[in-house]
Structure 1
Amino acid sequence: MMPATIRTVKGFTLVETVMVIAITGIIAAIVAVFIRAPVEGYFDAAARAEITDTADTALRRIGRDLRLVLPNSVRIAGGGNVLEFLSTKTGGRYRVEADAPGDDPLEFDAADTSFDVLGPALTGMTAGDQIVIYNLGIPGADAYEGNTAATHNRRSYNGAAGTVSNIVIAAANPFPLESPGRRFQVVDTPVTYICDGAGNLWRYWGYAIQSAQPSTVAALDGLVGAGNTRALLAQNVTACQFTYEAGITERSGLVAMRLAITGNGESVNLYHQVHVSNVP
């Protein structure tokens, strides 16, 4: 008769299992302590980068617009929360003397409804464009004042759309002042940047030029109407300040912009300055 085979079963005891679990927990806790700070730092940096990019993009957008500003048309309202200016689309020099038959100079001693452009023809002219000459931003030479009276330096374009070398205008009175450089600018629309006090920075455009500066979102919404020509540039804005100093140099003014944004527990505060040409 064969003897019975005795099998030996090997494994972990309960005490060994508990010890392994305890040691693993200790190691995991130690690792967590060391990696927590870098992980939190990464997420904080990502949050700061996101809101910094938002603020920087908004300020650069405003800066690009300011490079097309009509000289001496920047104005501030709302305690520094509202920036408005007239945006130019093109411009040129007007003819002052007839050098050949058929030439059409611009007259300043009587109402004149057309004049020749010296140099290349202007492209993209459309109904509603405004012709401005020698805008100084003072009474009698302020494009915001209107486009019909003898003291107004702005007139409505009244010609065909497209590319033109002769500017047709609606004029019951002559322009009040000549430009020393024989220059004129074509304005298409005012542009307003406004911080609404509810954490939003808006851009408005496409509304009619107003003598009194619109300084609230409600007023601007009423001006753009169903066209709704506005865009949201930034949210979570906690501070917003525009300032303008005319005559920083003889030929330019300075627009300064400060924008603070808070999000995901992080805050950024950016400051940006733009020189604007004030040579009319």
Structure 2
Amino acid sequence: MRSRLLHRRQRGFTLMEAVLVIMLTGVVAAMVGVFIRAPITGYVDQARRAELSDATDIALRRIAREVQRALPNSVRVDATGQVLEFLPVSAGGRYRAAPEMDGSGNFLDFDSTTDGSFAVLGPPVDVAAGSHLVVYNLGLPGADAYSGESRRVLTSAGNGLASLSYSVGGTQFPFASPSNRFQVIATPVTFLCRPLAGGAGSLRRYGGYAIQAAQPTSPSAAPLAGLSGSDNALLTNLVASCSFDHAVTSERNGLLTLTLTLTSDGESVTLLQQVHLDNSP
């Protein structure tokens, strides 16, 4: 009798009981999965949209921040609306336009083809080696910094300069600035977008190349093809479409409209940003 009771106490689950437990566990897991799947999918989708929005916003803000430092009338966009170039200003000020009452003072003489220096009025300026001097750039034939009419190579370099010297080259600046302003520029900057379906395109920033009369538009041709490192930087990938539009809204103002679409896993985010340009030279 005792042996029979001990035998009953040591009995385990039957095969039927184990199968029933497995079936019930599967049903419960399936029911839980149905309720959890939607929130998890929604979270993943929301995270992907947030990443796309952040990447798009950062790229547009980067362009807007840099283009606000552009030399007046130097922003140019190619015919495709996918290549933007401008000349960033590194320093600026006012030049002495006339001598003192006693005839002293180093002023900029626009009637002289040999005068290549002037005194800086106001705070001194910092000039990096290889910079260029620009006076009254209109972005038009005869007064265009890209072609060289309103631009000269600076021979002065250093920090806290109270006077500047430049290479005249036998021809003085074509026009004096009504407000006696000058700008110091270095090398151009290009933002080049190459969109592809499904978000396989890219947006890159190029810099450090010589100023060209004609706008460079091909990443596989000079001068953009030979650039590397920080002079050929990827701003963002996943680019499905993009456009740059530059409109002159008045004689002294312009409007740059930037549109960028990023796509990932079938979802797209499109942002638009407008930048006011002060074209008063």
- Same fold, TM-score > 0.5, yes or no: yes
The structure 1 segments of at least 4 consecutive aligned residues displaced by more than 4 Å after TM superposition are 220-228
Alignment identity in percent? 47
- 2:158 aligns with 161
**Alpha-carbon distance change, 271 to 222 in structure 1, aligned in 2, over 3 angstroms:** closer
Q: Partner of 1:181 in structure 2?
A: 179
Contact kept? 1:221, 1:228, Cα under 8 Å: no
In the aligned structure 1, how far is the partner of 2:225 from the partner of 2:34?
A: 58
Structure 2 CA distance for aligned equivalents of residues 160 and 69 of structure 1: 21
CA distance in 1, matches of 2:266, 2:280: 45
- 1:196-211 pair list within 5 angstroms: 196-197=194-195, 199-211=201-213
Q: Take 1:226 and 1:154, find their aligned partners in 2: how far apart are those partners?
A: 27
The two structures have a TM-score, normalised by structure 1, of 0.90
* Contact 1:98 1:105 (8 Å CA) reproduced: yes
- In the superposition, the TM-score normalised over structure 2's length comes to 0.90
Alpha-carbon spacing, 1:221–1:234, altered in 2? closer, same or farther (3 Å): farther
Deviation at 1:106, TM superposition (A): 0.5
Which residue number corresponds to residue 242 of structure 1?
244
Query: In the TM superposition, what is the alpha-carbon distance from 1:223 to its structure 2 partner?
Result: 6.5
Residues 95 and 71 (structure 1), Cα distance of their counterparts in 2 relative to 1, 3 Å cut: same
Letter in 2 for 1:86: L
Structure 1 unpaired stretches of 5+: 147-151
> Deviation of residue 226 (structure 1)?
6.8
Is the contact made by 2:194 and 2:239 (CA closer than 8 Å) also made in structure 1? no
SS in 2 for 1:261: strand
* Mean Cα deviation higher: 36-45 or 10-19: 10-19
> Which runs of 5 or more residues in structure 2 are unaligned?
none
Please tell me whether residue 114 in structure 1 is matched to residue 133 in structure 2.
Answer: no
Q: Deviations over 1:219-244 (max 9, x none)?
A: 35556557872111111211011000
Paired with 1:179 and 1:38, the residues of 2 have a C-alpha distance of 63
Q: Secondary structure at the match of 2:60?
A: helix
SS, match of residue 60 in structure 1: helix
Secondary structure of 2:175's partner? coil
Q: Which residue of the partner structure matches residue 215 of structure 2?
A: 213
Counterparts of 1:35 and 1:235 in 2: how far apart (Å)?
32
| CA–CA separation in structure 1 for the residues paired with 2:220 and 2:19 | 69
Q: 1:220 to 1:264 in 2, by over 3 A?
A: farther
Distance 1:23 1:71 in 2: 74
CA distance in 2 between counterparts of 1:24 and 1:213 reads 68
Which amino acid is the alignment partner of residue 254 of structure 2? G
- State the AA in 1 paired with 2:31: I
> In 1, distance between residues paired with 2:225 and 2:110?
33
C-alpha separation between the residues in 2 aligned to 1:105 and 1:87?
26
